[in-house]
A and B are shown apart, each in its own frame.
Chain A
């Protein structure tokens, strides 16, 4: 376990040395403050619009940080040829992958905390209330969603080129977020094998929309989601992350590194 944490530590240090997070955070802050300064019909108490814009930026930024960080881990090690000295140490390939995954996931979590603290500050300055439980649930579920996406990206990084991997993961993630829950509804209106295939796809994909509770916090549904449901969603997220990581380990185990 200590080997996995050692690899993860390197990934976390890499994130705060790189400029990606800082640039995205500053952009999020600037755009949100700009949005907050716009007054529609001379009303300065409008808050949901600002919250929505801020959360969209947070979701986009977090997705970019998670995918780009995870996608470059293995290819960069191979390109720089640092993978050889790393694997020469008493560490298994699956431990390297797991360490990379854990590092990316923890680093994304740390970035999310900063983003959500900013969001809570903006929201509280306008609404004069701070539903901490709801914000914590939103952050937690968002983090679980990133866990699935990072695992998928790690799988892609051992099978595809970095550019193809990033593009495909973005398309899949955004596609599932926007369309995932409607696939079965569309499948029911289709006839023949295409309907069956779409229905099978609906049950097979990880439903990332479970983790998107933006609408609840934008519109001030302050009653927290039952904790049992949050726990179930977390288990669901872990299961998919484990599946993608296991697949990545299987591919990486037999992968030629040079």
Chain B
């Protein structure tokens, strides 16, 4: 009996010692805010990214009100993610709607008959209905917080399409916490500050940091790659410089805006368009100088 009591006491001491050793570690992990992420990583592993991709696809399916190709059909005819394209400003796919309207001929009567029970019209959510995609985008971010494109897409729909600038800003800051050096997220955050709060000083500061980050992150990359993956993002540089031009114009700093325009021209895909803007701005500056004299 005495021996059993001693064994029980020993077990209690071991339990207490282990608790004392492990508790600070657990607390430190919780404080680092990695608890939920680690649990998800532990449970799902790399499957997290796959699931996040599927959820992003689900959001795109919602964007099309349910008309969306399955993985089999996607393999047969690769289709871009219209939701992400809309968010990044590449909305020229609208011109292809007629092409999407006409479904390819059915292979057999089962496929032909089945089309009566699924959406066959190509439409995009609009007029505030874009909110319906938000749950899937949020879940996709939760599963893969390192996927910058999902933050950008969600922030675009929250801010530009639904006017929820506060939520967009909060999300982008959350994204920056998970991806601290992303010039893409900084550019989107500056855009949100400029469009929602018209806080020119803050927008200018964030765009300037974005420009520095772009040089740090993008400049070491090759200008062109065979697949296009991993190549330098010149479109982003144009956006950042364009943002700085907008801020300086809004602040009335025309000389500074002209300076940024010249840098923009040197990096633009269509320099002739930028040159026209430079000429117009130069004329404005000259006219202003003439009036002052």
Contacts and interface: CB of A to CB of B under 8 A. Distances in A.
Contacts of B113: 210, 229, 232-233
Given A41-B138, A219-B119, A232-B113, A185 B72 contact: yes
Interface centre among A48, A207, A212, A213, by most chain B C-beta atoms within 10 angstroms, is: A48
Interface string B59-86: 0001001100010110010000000000
| Residue from B70, B107, B117, B167 whose CB has the most chain A CB atoms within 10 Å | B117
Contacts of B110: 181, 184, 202-203, 207
Interface stretch (A14-22, A79-87, A108-116, A220-228): A220-228
A211 B138 CA distance: 31
Interface in B226-250: none
Interface string A30-51: 0000000010111101111100
Q: Which of A42, A47, A211, A221 has the most CB of B within 10 A?
A: A221
Main secondary structure of the interface of A (DSSP, over half): helix
Nearest to A216: B119
Contacts of A45: 131
Contacts of A186: 72
Given A212-B117, A219-B65, A229-B116, A46 B107 contact: no
Interface in A157-199: 181-182, 184-186, 188
Interface in A124-146: 141
B136 interface: yes
A216 B117 contact: yes
A184 B108 contact: yes
B66 A219 contact: yes
B134 interface: yes
Contacts of B119: 215-216, 219, 221
Contacts of B66: 215-216, 218-219, 221
A174 B90 CA distance: 38
Contacts of B171: 41
A188 B134 contact: no
A49 B135 contact: yes
B131 A43 contact: yes
A184 B106 CA distance: 11
Given A41-B134, A225-B117, 9 more contacts: A41-B171, A42-B167, A48-B62, A48-B132, A185-B107, A210-B114, A216-B117, A219-B119, A229-B116
Lowest 4 CB-CB distances: which A-B pairs, in order? A219-B66, A49-B135, A215-B66, A219-B65
Interface of B: 62, 65-66, 70, 72-73, 76, 107-108, 110-111, 113-114, 116-119, 131-132, 134-136, 138, 158, 162, 164, 167, 171
